[in-house]
């Protein structure tokens, strides 16, 4: 039977729809049997998990290749960060089934900074749903630095994205709490649950940030004045500052990322931290805005969701497979760790992890 698809005046989309319907009608499209539906889908060769030996090898290679790169400088707008030894460097992979591969200074606790934004975003989704984030904060990249006040003015004084400072404070303000103490304790508990270990505040970092966070205080008041912050502005700013001052090791941050890679279940503790239906939403925001105003370049070159922090940590997530973390204090002009970026880029390419297709 010959089927003519295109007809005069028929749009391309309609033609495709008609073709699918005709194929189904003529028996070319088969409805799967119960037995076939129960069979697991074939795994593409490109998605096969590398061996443990290969994972440790690429971690070692990335560490060795970039450990002597002294480019960039420590962030100094937070005085404490300027004092962190700039030679620190760690590379870690944690797989979705809980295997750990590491090299370097993996036990040094650094301040989590903006990497924390991902997990408070997840917390808000878990408590209130993803529509609340979409409507009350927004998910569009601002195209500007993470602490930009100009971006607020260009977007009707709304945060626009949960991974810039304004959006992160809005996320903090949405966490259900009746006091600042309860809000902080809930956020710390959530981040610790993702890490699979009790995390702690680095007091020196918090004090250093609290003494200099005038810009964030101003942003919080602008949001509040326009109905886009949902608790007292000083409270949101202070709890956000504490959130960024949480201490985390490269291994702990990798477990946090691997929890997202594992559909919201911590691969070490096996405790669910986030409903699986929200994981794609979190990863989408990470892909679009996780590398500050270099996010487009990161997506173009590496194609995996990631989040960076000016403390030197970067966590990248390969859904269903692993998290890759780099830590090194010196950052570039955008606030992204130079060595951590290089190390993760190397591993992504070595293991062909780009979600948009093979780089080989």
CA dist., res. 281 & res. 21, Å (int): 32
pLDDT for 48 equals 75
pLDDT for 152 equals 62
pLDDT for 5 equals 37
Q: From 169, 151, 149, select the one nearest 160 (Cα to Cα).
A: 151
Q: What are 306-347's pLDDT values in tens digits?
A: 999 999 999 999 999 999 999 999 999 999 999 999 999 999
pLDDT for 36 equals 37
Neighbours of 46 (CB within 10 A): 11
Taking a C-beta distance cutoff of 8 angstroms, is the pair 219, 165 a contact? Answer: yes
Q: Give the residues across from 247 on adjacent strands.
A: 111, 200
pLDDT for 330 equals 98
The model's pTM is 0.85
Q: From 128, 262, 135, 118, select the one nearest 190 (Cα to Cα).
A: 118
The phi, psi pair for 143, rounded to 5°, reads 75, 15
CA dist., res. 316 & res. 295, Å (int): 12
Task: Report the sign of the C-alpha dihedral through residues 71, 76, 77, 78, in that order.
Answer: positive
225 burial (CB, 10 Å; 0-12 / 13-18 / 19+) is exposed
**One digit per residue, pLDDT tens: the chain, 360 residues?**
433 333 333 343 333 333 333 333 333 333 343 333 333 333 343 457 899 999 999 999 999 999 999 999 999 989 999 999 999 999 999 999 999 999 999 999 999 999 999 999 999 999 999 999 999 998 887 655 555 555 565 555 555 789 999 999 999 999 999 999 999 999 999 999 999 999 999 999 999 999 999 999 999 999 999 999 999 999 999 999 999 999 999 999 999 999 999 999 999 999 999 999 999 999 999 999 999 989 999 999 999 999 999 999 999 999 999 999 999 999 999 999 999 999 999 999 999 999 999 877
Widest CA span of the chain, in angstroms? 78
Q: Give the residues across from 322 on adjacent strands.
A: 95, 318
Q: Give the residues across from 91 on adjacent strands.
A: 103, 326
pLDDT for 355 equals 96
Neighbours of 45 (CB within 10 A): 7
pLDDT for 254 equals 98
pLDDT for 201 equals 98
Taking a C-beta distance cutoff of 8 angstroms, is the pair 67, 104 a contact? Answer: yes
Q: From 215, 254, 218, 224, select the one nearest 90 (Cα to Cα).
A: 254
Q: From 167, 157, 181, 81, select the one nearest 120 (Cα to Cα).
A: 167
């Amino acid at each position: 039977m010959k089927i003519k698809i295109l007809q005069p005046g028929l749009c391309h989309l309609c033609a495709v729809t008609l073709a699918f319907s005709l194929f189904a009608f003529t028996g070319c499209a088969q409805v799967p049997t119960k037995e076939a539906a129960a069979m697991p889908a074939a795994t593409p060769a490109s998605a096969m998990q590398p061996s443990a030996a290969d994972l440790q090898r690429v971690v070692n290679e990335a560490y060795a290749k970039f450990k002597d790169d002294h480019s960039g400088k420590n962030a100094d707008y937070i005085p404490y960060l300027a004092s962190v030894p700039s030679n620190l460097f760690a590379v870690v992979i944690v797989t979705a089934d809980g295997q750990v591969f590491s090299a370097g200074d993996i036990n040094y606790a650094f301040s989590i900074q903006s990497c924390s934004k991902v997990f408070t975003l997840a917390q808000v989704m878990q408590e209130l749903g993803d529509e609340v984030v979409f409507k009350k904060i927004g998910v569009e990249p601002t195209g500007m630095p993470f602490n930009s006040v100009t971006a607020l003015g260009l977007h009707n004084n709304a945060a626009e994205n949960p991974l810039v400072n304004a959006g992160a404070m809005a996320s903090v303000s949405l966490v259900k709490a009746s006091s600042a103490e309860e809000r902080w304790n809930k956020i710390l508990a959530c981040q610790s649950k993702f890490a699979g270990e009790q995390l702690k505040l680095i007091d020196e970092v918090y004090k250093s940030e609290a003494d200099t966070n005038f810009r964030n205080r101003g942003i919080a008041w602008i949001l509040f004045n326009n109905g886009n912050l949902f608790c007292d502005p000083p409270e949101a700013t202070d709890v956000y500052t504490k959130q960024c001052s949480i201490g985390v090791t490269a291994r702990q941050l990798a477990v946090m990322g691997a929890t997202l890679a594992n559909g919201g279940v911590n691969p070490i503790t096996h405790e669910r931290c986030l409903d699986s239906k929200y994981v794609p939403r979190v990863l989408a925001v990470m892909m679009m805005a996780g590398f500050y105003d270099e996010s487009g370049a990161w997506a173009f070159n590496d194609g995996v969701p990631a989040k960076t922090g000016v403390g030197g940590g970067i966590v990248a997530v390969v859904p269903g497979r692993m998290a890759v973390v780099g830590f090194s204090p010196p950052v570039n002009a955008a606030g992204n760790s130079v060595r951590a970026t290089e190390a993760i880029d190397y591993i992504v390419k070595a293991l062909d992890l780009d979600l948009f297709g093979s780089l080989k």
